[in-house]
Chains A and B, each alone.
Chain A
Amino acid sequence: MTEVAVLGVGMHPFGKFEDKSVTDLCRSAVTAALADAGVSWREVEAVAAASSRFSGGKGWGLNGNDVVEDMGSTGIPVYNLSAGCSAGGNAFNIGCTLVASGLHDVVLVVGGEKMPKGFIQTSGVEEATDPEFLRQRCVGVSGPAFWGMLCRRRMEDFGTTEEHLAKIAVKAHANSVHNPYARFRKPFSMEQVLTSPMVCFPLRLYEICPVSDGAAAAVLCSARFARQKTTKPVWVASSAVATARFDDGITRHVAAASPTGPTLHSEAKIAVEKAFERAGLGPRDMSLVELQDNTVYYELAFPEEWGLCAPGEAERLVERGETGPTGRLPINPSGGFQSFGEATTAMGVFQVAELTWQLRGEAGGRQVPQAKAGLGQTIGLGGNATAVVLKR
């Protein structure tokens, strides 16, 4: 296995772009990533793309093919990866594997999405055999209600307050002020967050992420290729993909066997632990974490599920501001999903871009001082999760 470098990254700003197609957003991100890498489109040997559920892709999730046609068809192989909101992470993993195996020297990874407005709807299939249909028709549990249930339990177990939740949102937006790609680039006060409408008690509007349009791309290459282009490459220390365990405590359909252990997000835990193991690095080696903050709750639950802090310690870190860019455990210095909005399948690549900028010291006002290694993580429908560790 050869070492893999992230040679270049690019992003299209997140927001709502009525007059652009998802392929337009991807072209912008890909062009920026190629320029950042100093690589021409004709040098790209393969594409690993996240399959969009909502836009482009010829209705079959063939978004990688759209990108290749758009950039100029050179006959290269395209891999379209579908994994719910984890698809960008899966595409990154396959891109890494294509380089690490020695099969290709230069691989493009891309994810883009144009999202419909409002709550994300499920499959649209109206059949009694479809678990998502049953869950929504018989009970009616939106994504935020699901997060609300998990958050409510934590509030009871650990004494998490509404102020803790709001403070995480305030931190996210304070970071986003310094990120030119974020959708919302203004500070929010505690009062603004705490008086925003209740979406699914106990979670308010500014404590869950909206949906956005956006795209991100990364150029991966072999160590040999990287050394021809740069003296300071960012390295892929590891990339891991996992799915949920049978004994997980989250009811993903209408029912499941009651769990025997405490694990709630086993897919994410497995992916992150595998990524640490393969990188030969541990939680304490992470200078920063970009985690999937669909809701502020995840910034409390995930760090301790992965050993970044002790159970119940996350609230104390938030109180002391330790999850800010200059704190002990910087979380989502990018501004996170809270500030970008989720362009579902782009997010795994979005995280890689932020980690890369941070590790190069190019993150401006949101820079984590002396960042040496960072973790990125996604979680998606179907029990999918990915993790990546990048290092200098």
Chain B
Amino acid sequence: MTERIPVIEGLFTEGPEGPRLLGSRCVTCATPYFPKSLACHNPSCTEGRMEDAAFGPRGVLFSSAVQNYPPPPPAKYDEPYRPYAVGMVDLAEGLRVLGRIDTPDPSALRGGTPVELSVGHLYRDTEGRDVVTWQFRPC
């Protein structure tokens, strides 16, 4: 079986409850952060104590576009290049996240569509491993 590795360690998990993004939240003002933040950046926050938090899987698509042309480095993709959808998703926890949208018809996506977090293929690395990242799919 092909070895599966995350694009970057520690950004997401695929536990028994399903995929989650690993971030943090300010205990004082409840601002969510992904990836984890050492400090709260909310200028209205008075204290800014941080705790670990997991986000997902439910969200709503704010908007999307299609990356019709191969993006510049440091993006990576399999050859031959296949266009993919990218979107901004508002998670139920109050976090707006960028991610690829896993859909067969990228240009048919519409804002307001309910989506859920998943983990999927990003590219195959030089050692033949399946490099995966967080993404969303309409649900």
Knowing A255-B23, A255-B33, A255-B98 touch, does A138 contact B69 (C-beta < 8 A)?
A: no
On whether the beta carbons of B98 and A153 are closer than 8 Å, the reply is no
Instruction: List B98-127 residues whose CB lies under 8 Å from chain A.
Output: 98-100, 106-107, 110-112, 122
Which chain B positions have C-beta within 8 A of A249?
96
A200 to B88, CA, bound (A): 15
A118 contacts B by Cβ under 8 Å:
yes
On whether the beta carbons of A156 and B96 are closer than 8 Å, the reply is no
On whether the beta carbons of A200 and B84 are closer than 8 Å, the reply is no
A298 contacts B by Cβ under 8 Å:
no
Identify which of A10-18, A53-61, A129-137, A278-286 touches chain B.
A129-137
On whether the beta carbons of B35 and A134 are closer than 8 Å, the reply is yes
Instruction: List B47-102 residues whose CB lies under 8 Å from chain A.
Output: 62-69, 71-77, 84, 86-88, 90-91, 94-100
Knowing A251-B98, A254-B35 touch, does A126 contact B68 (C-beta < 8 A)?
A: no
Knowing A254-B34, A259-B96 touch, does A140 contact B87 (C-beta < 8 A)?
A: no
* B: interface residue count bin: 35 or more
Identify which of A144-152, A312-320, A342-350 touches chain B.
A144-152
On whether the beta carbons of B65 and A139 are closer than 8 Å, the reply is no
Partner of B86 from A122, A149, A246 at Cβ < 8 Å: A149
A198 to B83, CA, bound (A): 11
Partner of B96 from A138, A152, A256 at Cβ < 8 Å: A256
On whether the beta carbons of B65 and A152 are closer than 8 Å, the reply is yes
Knowing A140-B100, A149-B65 touch, does A257 contact B88 (C-beta < 8 A)?
A: no
Which chain B positions have C-beta within 8 A of A151?
65
Partner of A118 from B8, B43, B72 at Cβ < 8 Å: B72
Which chain B positions have C-beta within 8 A of A136?
71-75
Which chain A positions have C-beta within 8 A of B68?
197-201
On whether the beta carbons of B67 and A257 are closer than 8 Å, the reply is no
On whether the beta carbons of B74 and A153 are closer than 8 Å, the reply is no
Knowing A152-B111, A257-B31 touch, does A139 contact B69 (C-beta < 8 A)?
A: no
A140 to B73, CA, bound (A): 9
Which chain A positions have C-beta within 8 A of B134?
138
Knowing A145-B65, A153-B111, A255-B97 touch, does A140 contact B84 (C-beta < 8 A)?
A: yes
Count CB-based A-B contacts (< 8 Å): 142
* A: interface residue count bin: 35 or more
Which chain B positions have C-beta within 8 A of A203?
65
Secondary structure at the A interface, as helix, strand, loop or mixed, is mixed
B133 contacts A by Cβ under 8 Å:
yes
CB nearest to A122 among chain B residues: B74
Which chain B positions have C-beta within 8 A of A147?
65
A121 contacts B by Cβ under 8 Å:
yes
A307 to B136, CA, bound (A): 36
A97 contacts B by Cβ under 8 Å:
no
CB nearest to A118 among chain B residues: B72
Which chain B positions have C-beta within 8 A of A326?
none
Which chain A positions have C-beta within 8 A of B122?
138
Shortest distance from the beta carbon of B45 to any chain A beta carbon, whole Å = 9
Shortest distance from the beta carbon of A37 to any chain B beta carbon, whole Å = 40
Shortest distance from the beta carbon of A153 to any chain B beta carbon, whole Å = 4
Partner of A149 from B63, B72, B112 at Cβ < 8 Å: B63
30 CB contacts below 8 A, A to B, read A118-B72, A119-B71, A134-B8, A134-B11, A134-B35, A135-B98, A136-B75, A137-B8, A139-B86, A139-B99, A139-B133, A140-B76, A142-B75, A145-B66, A147-B65, A148-B65, A148-B66, A149-B87, A152-B111, A153-B63, A156-B111, A197-B68, A200-B68, A201-B65, A201-B106, A201-B107, A251-B96, A251-B98, A254-B34, A257-B94
Closest 7 CB pairs of A and B: A148-B65, A153-B63, A201-B66, A140-B75, A255-B34, A119-B72, A255-B97
